[in-house]
Amino acid sequence: MGGSGDGLHPLNRRQMTVARSKAITELELLVIDDDALDIVITWEQVAAGGGAAATVIGEAVRGDPRFAAGAFSLENLRHGVFAQLPAARIEELLQRFERVPMPRGQVVIGEGEEGDWFYVIESGKCQVERVVGGVRMAVAELRSGDAFGEEALVSEARRNATVTMLTDGELLRLSKRDFTHLLAEPLLHRLRWAEARERVARGALWLDVRYPSEYQHDRLPGAINVPLSEVRNSFTVLDPETEYVVYCQSGRRSSAAAFLFAQRGFKVWLLEGGLRATQRSSAG
Residues serving a catalytic function are 248
Q: Work out the angle at residue 32's Cα, subtended by the Cα atoms of residues 29 and 38, and round it to the nearest 5 degrees.
A: 160
Q: Collapse the DSSP code of 66 into the 3-class scheme (helix H, G, I; strand E, B; otherwise coil) and give the result.
A: helix
Residue 16, C-beta contacts closer than 8 angstroms, at least 6 positions apart: none
Position 232: which residue type?
R
How far, CA to CA in Å, does 26 sit from each of 22, 23, 29, 31? Answer: 11, 7, 10, 16
Q: How far apart are CA 193 and CA 200, in angstroms?
A: 11
User: Is residue 249 a contact partner of residue 269, using CB atoms and an 8 Å limit?
Assistant: no
Q: What is the Cα gyration radius of the chain?
A: 22
